[in-house]
Amino acid sequence: MRTDTPVTVFRKDYQPYPYDIPEVALAFDLAPDATEVRCAMQVRRKPGASADAALVLDGEDLELVSVGVDGAALPADRYRLSDHRLELYGLPASAAVEIVSRCKPSANSTLMGLYVSGGNFFTQCEAEGFRRITWFADRPDVMSRYRVTLRALPDYPVLLSNGNLVASRQLPDGRNEVEWEDPFPKPCYLFALVAGKLTHRETTVKTASGRDVLLQVYSDPGSETKTEWALDSLVRALRWDESRFGLELDLDRFMVVAVHDFNMGAMENKGLNIFNAAYVLADADTATDANYEGIESVIGHEYFHNWTGNRVTCRDWFQLSLKEGLTVFRDQEFSADMMADGMDAAEAASARAVKRIDDVVALRAAQFPEDAGPMAHPIRPESYQEIGNFYTATVYEKGAEVIRMQHTLLGEEGFRAGMDEYFRRHDGQAVTCDDFVAAMESVYVRQHPGRDLSVFRRWYRQAGTPRVSVKLDHDAAARRCTVTLTQECPLVGVEKKAGADYVKAPYHIPFAIGLLDREGRALTLRHEGEASETALLELSTQSRQWVFEDIADRPVPSLLRDFSAPVIVEYAWTDEELALLSAHDSNPFARWEAGQEFATRQILALAEARQAGRTLHADAAFIDTWRALLTDPAIDAAYRARALALPSEKTLAERMRQVDPPALAVARDFLRAELGRQLAAEFRQAFEASQTPGEYSPAPVPAGKRALKNLALGHLMAAGEPDAQRLAEQLYGQAGNMTDSMAALSALINFGQGEFPQQALAAFYDKWRDNPLVVDKWFALQASARSTTVQTARELMRHPAFTMRNPNRARALIFQFCLNNARGMHHPDGSGYAFWAEQVLALDALNPEIAARLARALDNWSRFVPALRSPMQTALQQVRAHEGLSRNVQEIVSKALE
């Protein structure tokens, strides 16, 4: 049994490591059941460190074979081995330390450290997995140059590690031996090795300075036809980082390897990125438009880490957002630039808005609830028990918003100057979030004499989503409009416990605003010496006023344009004003937002009616607004599909005083069906007009058409329109790509009649049973289907293709059910919560990191309606009481119950 006693680590307790470890030589004798690792390191006590400072090394699940110093075995009284630590005493100021240990990759179901997947070896070291490979100073501020020797039987013909291949030979015992050398010092979390039978696709490109570099994508034998998009994306990422940030690839060789068993999306190991196969493999038959987009963005993300993460890394794990927030911002910009590529200015603005909308939708669905719940933490946390639990939407997505605000405040050129300064100061170092802001501030103070980013830094220290309320006063006689912004940031999570001692200070909020006249025309705003349609107001105190002159009539405000800050806006628009903004706002993001706000009001009112047992009615003005969007010839399909999509149940839940997922689901479905019924002709027309004949392309324009067409189909099916099922069956039968197949199958499973849906589902499985990524889709579709109950989920778990050991499969079935099936999961009898508790415990015995992610499904239990709240609490208590719980899950459930 595990002896995982949770220990809280605090940011304020940071201490530098007393030794430098400039060189590391690792030698692996790879075998699934017993891999021997020899770790030889050059160790030098830091100037100023105490002569009796022990060399403290971390280790987990390792068998120690020997410890040597300067060529001789270390006497037993000079080292101490405890649970997760190896301490060496009395070292000379400079020493050669050699540690030999053994681990068992085939038994490693945690997928951290060295493990076996599909018969091949892979590693995952971030954050603290390297200690499962060898005893080492497993912390990001210890940076070393690595030389790696791999020895394995010829069953493992491909042997990869970081950097450059410097030697390769056959050993007398028949095994192969290779040596890799990484010229760049790195923390151990960026170490990687891969060994096994793999195929690859490659290309050579010239970098900006004229060097030839080899780019390779490795995957299972047989999947070489599915790596073209990933390799092309890698080339685009390399070019983009050169042109937008002036950052060049620093290695001669860059490899991406796909693996089917992987805890996360992917990992940026130096020169050897390891990817969840779901973010590498794609072809038209098996991958959806969303998959293609996801691959491009994750390939970009990991590639961009080479500078923002690897060349400049984190001093400690509290600084995780230093690399993740920044790299998410960079991948978002990369995707936006790729989507807008080759378009004229208006098309490009719409394409960028589509990307911004998708990112904000994701932020609101995942990060806003986190920021309002028991796991709320600043983007730079103050403490943690298990760092694996802090790879969160807050650190990543809110972290990216905090970077984006700096980009907004400095402008594109200023931001680039700040980035250049950051690399000039810190290349090759392990630094803090504050170092990043200081580099940006050095530019900001030049641009804005007398101002600085000291208030802005609170975004790194304080948790929770600020609320900005807007007051608009108009003086007709003076033709003057006064805008007052007031911010408020309620205490969240642990802050509430701190009570009166904890005072939250105002944030520095860049707030973009426009004003429309009553005909929907944009008014010119004079602000800080400039005249424009959009003014950027900088709110950095609790409340502030701005005056706009020469405004004849009371205008309609267009607020938080482009989502210029991660805040919640409070303004009492009338429905008529929302309809006007939805039809005319020249800022495509704010235009979308107005429609979403209108729809949110409708659904929340319907949910209330449902709870009160009243009959549901759709509002005519709302239907008219949707009709106008559906038929506006000036907007493209991709944008239209976003504008017409009803807000998600997760986003809506955040707006309910007491969350009632089944009532929300009924209300949202009602409105969807009602729109389908009342706008049947228009949806029909959109469906027909959005066909994409010819060869499949994942490009934004055809993908946008498919999104609109399939949204229309969903509405028609939900409405039970005569003929809709025929359209769905036809689409399913004739689909030339996975996007259409999945959309048709989903509509059929959720709303279809007769035998066709079940037959199609069975045939789909038979067709794709050998493709794990498509089988995941098959499970996910059913797990989230409207009619799926706990019983159905349990039956699906008994399917021969189901396994808990593969995270993608567990996510497809268990996570989809627990997180995305409101009716099944939140059944009033509590059976969904009992199922959840059972699966958290089952997963925890295999893979604590994945279990802890599932554990978070009940985070916000205390905000649910009383009838659901108490069975949720019971389920959480049941998990907490379980003996031998990992510290990952312990941290989550104990915080939830605090």
The residue among 324 and 585 lying less far from ligand ARG, judged by its C-beta, is 324
Over its C-alpha atoms, the chain yields an Rg (Å, rounded) of 28
Of the residues 388, 514, 700, 702, which one makes contact with ligand ARG according to CB under 6 A:
388
Catalytic residue (choose from 293, 302, 495, 597): 302
Output the six-digit token pair for 642.
Answer: 């976003």
Query: Binding to ligand ARG (CB under 6 A): which residues in 799-858?
Result: 849
Output the six-digit token pair for 653.
Answer: 């839940």
CB 849 within 8 A of CB 263: yes
CB 537 within 8 A of CB 546: yes
Should residue 395 be labelled a site residue for ligand ARG when binding is judged by CB under 6 A?
Answer: no
The residue among 386 and 669 lying less far from ligand ARG, judged by its C-beta, is 386
In whole angstroms, the minimum distance from the beta carbon of 855 to ligand ARG comes to 15
In whole angstroms, the minimum distance from the beta carbon of 301 to Zn ion comes to 6
CA distances from 701 to 697, 714, 825, 834 (A): 9, 20, 36, 44
Q: DSSP readout, 114-143?
A: EEEETTEEEEE-TTTTGGGTS-B--STT--
**CA–CA separation, 77 and 892 (whole Å):** 40
- Range 739-746 contact pairs with CB under 8 angstroms and sequence separation of 24 or more: 739/288, 739/289, 739/290, 739/703, 739/706, 739/710, 740/706, 740/710, 742/288, 742/777, 742/781, 743/706, 743/710, 743/713, 743/714, 744/710, 744/713, 745/781, 746/714, 746/781
* Segment near Zn ion (CB under 5 A); pick from 8-16, 325-333, 374-382, 657-665: 325-333
What is the helix (H) or strand (E) element at residue 166, kind and residue range?
strand 164-170
The residue among 326 and 556 lying less far from Zn ion, judged by its C-beta, is 326
* Segment near ligand ARG (CB under 6 A); pick from 122-130, 500-508, 656-664, 797-805: 122-130
Least Cα distance to 446 among 489, 423, 485, 413 occurs for 413
In whole angstroms, the minimum distance from the beta carbon of 301 to ligand ARG comes to 6
In whole angstroms, the minimum distance from the beta carbon of 302 to ligand ARG comes to 6
The residue among 408 and 888 lying less far from ligand ARG, judged by its C-beta, is 888
Should residue 133 be labelled a site residue for ligand ARG when binding is judged by CB under 6 A?
Answer: no
The one of Zn ion, ligand ARG, none whose footprint includes residue 126, by CB under 5 to 8 A per kind, is ligand ARG
In whole angstroms, the minimum distance from the beta carbon of 326 to Zn ion comes to 9
Of the residues 20, 58, 98, 126, which one makes contact with ligand ARG according to CB under 6 A:
126
Output the six-digit token pair for 173.
Answer: 């015992």
What is the helix (H) or strand (E) element at residue 823, kind and residue range?
helix 822-825
Of the residues 146, 229, 391, 598, which one makes contact with ligand ARG according to CB under 6 A:
391
**CA–CA separation, 376 and 373 (whole Å):** 6
Query: Binding to ligand ARG (CB under 6 A): which residues in 260-289?
Result: 263-264, 266-268
Torsion on CA atoms 399, 232, 694, 763, rounded to nearest 10: -70
CB 573 within 8 A of CB 533: no
The residue among 314 and 472 lying less far from ligand ARG, judged by its C-beta, is 314
Query: Binding to ligand ARG (CB under 6 A): which residues in 314-373?
Result: 324
* Segment near ligand ARG (CB under 6 A); pick from 34-42, 161-169, 259-267, 835-843: 259-267
**CA–CA separation, 723 and 717 (whole Å):** 9
In whole angstroms, the minimum distance from the beta carbon of 348 to Zn ion comes to 27
533 tagged catalytic: no
- Range 208-213 contact pairs with CB under 8 angstroms and sequence separation of 24 or more: 208/242, 208/248, 209/248, 211/252, 212/252, 213/238, 213/249, 213/251, 213/252, 213/253, 213/254
The residue among 370 and 849 lying less far from ligand ARG, judged by its C-beta, is 849
The one of ligand ARG, Zn ion, none whose footprint includes residue 267, by CB under 5 to 8 A per kind, is ligand ARG
The residue among 300 and 414 lying less far from ligand ARG, judged by its C-beta, is 300
Neighbours of 543 (CB within 10 A): 14
* Segment near ligand ARG (CB under 6 A); pick from 119-127, 135-143, 253-261, 660-668: 119-127
The residue among 432 and 746 lying less far from ligand ARG, judged by its C-beta, is 432
* Segment near Zn ion (CB under 5 A); pick from 326-334, 377-385, 567-575, 736-744: 326-334
Question: Which positions are annotated as active-site residues?
Answer: 302
Contacting residues toward Zn ion, per CB under 5 A: 324, 327
Contacting residues toward ligand ARG, per CB under 6 A: 124, 126-127, 263-264, 266-268, 301-302, 324, 388, 391, 849
